[in-house]
Structure 1
């Protein structure tokens, strides 16, 4: 890809170095991740679709790639992945609209100083 130089490709060496630098934290994170994504009340497919949506809101390219692939492997269709992305887009835009109340409140304070 054209912009791959912005984000290094994940490699075994990077993963090993990350684990070596903080082994206890890495193991705790791995256990947490395995626990969160295992089949439960929500099927793994749904959990991966949620992860795809959240990855787009957090804008993590590594997460987008990995969770998109995992969602497809767990049975999601391309249409379901895209629909999850649209839900994320609406939520992100909705947050901006909702937070406009802060700007409106501040502008009102400036118009009517006490």
Structure 2
């Protein structure tokens, strides 16, 4: 990760974040632990979902953290890459689908189709 653009996560940054908003920090940790527990979806599947979402939101911290956790939960490199490809398709598909907005705007401007 480019340290100039994205600071390396450190204990000191984590402690500062916690000190500045301890209640929110505790609530977030509890929420995260609850969300990523085994449930209707396995913890491994939830980590694969998180990897896909992290690629769509383009969060380098999330990509690294959830990839490592997915591996700890037994995800293979192939499963992780497949989740990333699903994210890529969904992002591209959304751009394609939203072209309807531009096409509609073109029609509203009085131009011929």
Give aligned pairs, total: 111
CA RMSD across the alignment: 1.0
Q: Is the counterpart of residue 51 in structure 1 residue 31 in structure 2?
A: no
Paired residue for 1:82? Answer: 81
CA distance in 1, matches of 2:4, 2:108: 46
Paired residue for 2:14? Answer: 15
CA distance in 1, matches of 2:110, 2:84: 39
Q: Alpha-carbon deviations, 1:47-81, whole Å to 9, x = none?
A: 00000000000000000000000001100000000
TM-score normalized by the length of structure 2: 0.95
CA distance in 2, matches of 1:76, 1:41: 17
Give the secondary structure class of the aligned counterpart of 2:74. coil
Paired residue for 1:100? Answer: 99
Q: Is the counterpart of residue 70 in structure 1 residue 51 in structure 2?
A: no
Give the secondary structure class of the aligned counterpart of 2:109. helix
TM-score normalized by the length of structure 1: 0.94
CA distance in 2, matches of 1:54, 1:4: 22
Using the TM superposition, give the Cα deviation of residue 111 of structure 1 relative to its aligned residue in structure 2, in angstroms. 1.9
Larger helix share, 1 or 2: 1
